[in-house]
Chains A and B, each alone.
Chain A
């Protein structure tokens, strides 16, 4: 691996990092705008044309707010909480294949930061770490509401990670690999051998379980109990102010972006799009269009996240646990069994 390769890799990391930040930033704007449309309103429209500059204004506001660290909190952990939340949110994007290979001259650039052979496990690890930010922050605040929010976040994530893992096992039985790059490559095109190539059409139940768990893992409505305003003031970030609060909110949006990317890659063909090799375009153009297709899928998922948020009320805590343990886990196991039978006999 030469210096040039390392530089290219580094540039790719920086670009992906910036893209996730910008997407997260504009997700806050989109969230408010979409919420407004769902409620027959207009939404933010004062900062710049159509309120385009609203995220910048919000960011500036967050930076300029007074920073409050409660006297009886554990200062180090109090700061570590949001830092960890945003860190784990950002590193998840490392194994997502953003596109096929680009060829510039003789150099071949892989649009995936690293195609490690345990890609999905890595994502799971990162997602599980994500709850530490919430837990540490909630515990360090030394506040009952924060602590309750943190406990809820922890138990919710544990419960839903199980069914998420089980739903993935069924997928892995079909793909036979943990590499994200290879899973995306297997879903090449859209149609082959008389059936869709995208995993959604092979694992509809698994996808359903996965998306429900993704909602729970990103703490989005209807599973936003950790920050349940009506019961817990602000949940785990009750005591947070200024940019530390901003980091928590921001990490939620980055998580949403990453989990949308994961869902698009695992179940909706990633960078693949229909007729990608019947258009008569050169490889590089197909790759670039593929990146565009992936981002369109991601944005559709983000829209879906927001659509659900502004439709469904929050679960009660016992309902949440019932759904996780009594419905999703048995369903996921049944899905594994069905997948096994299908693989064996067909």
Chain B
């Protein structure tokens, strides 16, 4: 058969010569290799203290964005929930009252907005679906927890910090 690549090598199986059978040269060679590694810089990243840099398109925890005046951008249209393949997002909409114009940008807003982080697959479709540029997966890794109910993140965890703080 014609070789597909030129990487093929003929392997000869010679019987071991005396030095090879004596183990010791090979063992010494092995010891020198491990000794080289002994003085090499460890590749470990001590995770909670040190963090590896994320790639630019890393998708982590969601955040609900505010506009330049510090108002929540989300208008509770539900497109993110609709687009979510894992059905992780739920929300309850409410109407903006008089005097709340500095809190919510649109006339309708999400009174409750919950993402179940155990269901979420971090695909980023909610981000793409959002017409108001209100949700981005630009956060960190979702931290571990003990109870399932604690993985349902509400607005308290998702909404960005207000501007003036």
Interface residues of A (CB under 8 A from B): 34, 36-42, 45, 307-308, 310-312, 323
Contact A37–B38 (Cβ < 8 Å):
yes
Instruction: Assess A41 versus B34: contact at CB under 8 Å? Given A311-B27, A312-B27.
Output: no
Contact B30–A38 (Cβ < 8 Å):
no
Instruction: Assess A40 versus B35: contact at CB under 8 Å? Given A311-B27, A312-B27, A312-B30.
Output: no
Q: Apart from A308-B31, A311-B30, what 15 extra A-B contacts exist at CB < 8 Å?
A: A34-B38, A37-B38, A37-B42, A38-B37, A38-B38, A40-B41, A40-B42, A40-B44, A42-B42, A45-B46, A307-B34, A307-B35, A308-B27, A311-B31, A312-B30
Distance from A313 Cβ to chain B, minimum over Cβ atoms (Å): 9
CA distance A28 to B122 in the complex (A): 42
Of all chain B residues, the one with the shortest Cβ separation from A308 is B31
Chain B, 9-37, CB within 8 A of any chain A CB: 23, 27, 30-31, 33-35, 37
Instruction: Assess A36 versus B46: contact at CB under 8 Å? Given A310-B34, A311-B34.
Output: no
For residue B33, which residues in chain A have a CB less than 8 angstroms away from its CB? 311
For residue B44, which residues in chain A have a CB less than 8 angstroms away from its CB? 40-42
CA distance A41 to B37 in the complex (A): 10
Interface residues of B (CB under 8 A from A): 23, 27, 30-31, 33-35, 37-38, 40-44, 46
CA distance A45 to B44 in the complex (A): 12
Q: List 29 A-B contacts (CB under 8 A).
A: A34-B38, A36-B42, A37-B37, A37-B38, A37-B42, A38-B37, A38-B38, A39-B37, A40-B41, A40-B42, A40-B44, A41-B42, A41-B43, A41-B44, A42-B42, A42-B44, A42-B46, A45-B46, A307-B31, A307-B34, A308-B27, A308-B31, A310-B34, A311-B30, A311-B31, A311-B33, A311-B34, A312-B27, A312-B30
CA distance A267 to B12 in the complex (A): 43
Of all chain B residues, the one with the shortest Cβ separation from A36 is B42
Of all chain B residues, the one with the shortest Cβ separation from A208 is B24
For residue B42, which residues in chain A have a CB less than 8 angstroms away from its CB? 36-37, 40-42
Distance from A42 Cβ to chain B, minimum over Cβ atoms (Å): 4
Distance from A330 Cβ to chain B, minimum over Cβ atoms (Å): 13
- Most A C-beta atoms less than 10 A away, residue of B34, B35, B42: B34
- 7 interchain residue pairs of minimum CB distance: A42-B44, A311-B34, A311-B30, A38-B34, A42-B42, A37-B38, A40-B43
Distance from A301 Cβ to chain B, minimum over Cβ atoms (Å): 14
Distance from B49 Cβ to chain A, minimum over Cβ atoms (Å): 10
For residue B40, which residues in chain A have a CB less than 8 angstroms away from its CB? 40
CA distance A36 to B37 in the complex (A): 10
Distance from B121 Cβ to chain A, minimum over Cβ atoms (Å): 31
CA distance A36 to B23 in the complex (A): 25
For residue A42, which residues in chain B have a CB less than 8 angstroms away from its CB? 42, 44, 46
